[in-house]
Amino acid sequence: MPHRDELESALTDRERLDLAGLSTPRAIQDFLDGCAYSSDPFYRCPLRVLRERRAHCFDGALFAAAALRRLGHPPRILDLLSDGRDDEHLLALFQADGRWGAIAQSNFSGLRYREPVYASVRELAMSYFEPYYNLARERTLVGYTGPLSLAPFDRLRWTVSDEHLERIAERTERVRRVELITPQMHGRLTPVDERSYRAGLLGSDAAGLFKPE
Q: In tens digits, what is the pLDDT along the chain, a chain of 213 residues?
A: 455 679 999 999 999 999 999 999 999 999 999 999 999 999 999 999 999 999 999 999 999 999 999 999 999 999 999 999 999 999 999 999 999 999 999 999 999 999 999 999 999 999 999 999 999 999 999 999 999 999 999 999 999 999 999 999 999 999 999 999 999 999 999 999 999 999 999 999 999 999 998
Contacts of 112 (CB under 8 A, 6+ apart): 29, 32, 33, 103, 104, 105, 106
Contacts of 22 (CB under 8 A, 6+ apart): 28, 31, 67, 70
Residue 40 lies in a domain: yes
| Residue 204 near residue 108 (C-beta atoms within 8 A) | yes
Domain extent, residue 142, equals 3-204
Residue 23 lies in a domain: yes
Residue 171 lies in a domain: yes
Distance set, CA 185 to CA 22, 39, 117, 144 (Å): 40, 32, 26, 16
Q: Which of 87, 116, 118, 91 is nearest to 103 (CA)?
A: 91
Total domains in the chain come to 1
Residue 95 lies in a domain: yes
Please give the mean pLDDT across all residues of the chain. Answer: 97
Residue 132 lies in a domain: yes
15-61 pLDDT, tens digit each = 999 999 999 999 999 999 999 999 999 999 999 999 999 999 999 99
Residue 211 lies in a domain: no
Task: Tell me the pairing of strands 36-37 and 54-55.
Answer: parallel
Residue 212 lies in a domain: no
**Three-state SS sequence of 94-144:** EEECCEEEEECCCCCCCCCCEEEEECCHHHHHHCCCCCCECCCCCECEEEE
